[in-house]
Amino acid sequence: MAAYNLHLPLSVPFTYISLCGIGALIMRSAGCTINDMWDQNLDKAVERTQNRPLARGDITTKQAVGFLGVQLMGGLAVLTQMNWYTIFLGASSLSLVTIYPLMKRITYWPQFVLGLTFNWGALLGWSAVAGAVNWPICVPLYAGSVLWTLVYDTVYAHQDKRDDVSAGIRSTALLFGDKTQPILSAFSVSSLALISYSGYLNGQGLPFYAGVGLAGFQLARVIRETNWEDRQSCWKGFVRCGWVGIWVWAGATLDYFLLLANEPTQEPDAVEDSKVVEA
């Protein structure tokens, strides 16, 4: 969206999508390591997580710390390829990465904190491309993405709600209970509305909104068809939520390609004339 806003050549988003993709993979895996370190005792009490390496005793906490150090160095190596604004912005997300695993012990809204953490890239990607965050555009994009995370991670949390009660783990799945469907419907509508508003402020075209529309259709299917009492159904619903991001990304990408295709190009004679004028 930043490249669309600034009419930048294809090489710019390609470079930063590659860097941000690698960085996201490394930092999300680091987040998983931190999560497993905090939760190694809780994981033993939940059927789905009993076989995680730390919970099962395959590796020690000391080994996990060493692996985490390697992951963080890898993330830092990616981050230092960007401008200083983005470096400081990226470093500021480490506090969220660290505290997220604790949230399930003290609040029924750990999914909200996960949303704040996972979607930091909505801010980071823009600043990497543009040199600074365009807050009026990025705030609704970020907020809409946080709500999307609330939807898919609540679906995910319904898998473990029985074990979570006995283990003392809190989640939006337990908080919403039998009101999950209407609440997630409201979150979905709000998420897509905020993302659409961000697109409007960014001057996006029809393909972007088509992508948002397909994302809305996918969310509606997930919320309507998921059986909240069946683990397999919840897992299937969680996986299908991933298509929401794919559709929005596809719409934004097609919109950007159409922008590039319609960009006016200077004729050779015009270029020569401009050089003469400059001389």
Higher-pLDDT residue of 63 and 277 is 63
Please answer whether residues 20 and 124 qualify as being in contact, where contact means their C-beta atoms are separated by less than 8 angstroms: yes
Would you state the pLDDT for residue 45? Answer: 73
Share of the chain above pLDDT 90, in %: 56
Alpha-carbon span 257 to 274, nearest angstrom: 27
Would you state the pLDDT for residue 279? Answer: 42
> pLDDT tens-digit profile of 257-266?
999 998 776 4
- Based on its alpha-carbon atoms, the radius of gyration of the chain, rounded to whole angstroms, reads 22
Looking at 14-28, 189-203, 214-228, which range is the least confident one?
A: 14-28
Would you state the pLDDT for residue 265? Answer: 60
pTM across the whole model: 0.85
> pLDDT tens-digit profile of 76-121?
888 888 899 988 998 888 888 888 888 988 999 999 999 999 899 8
Please answer whether residues 20 and 119 qualify as being in contact, where contact means their C-beta atoms are separated by less than 8 angstroms: no
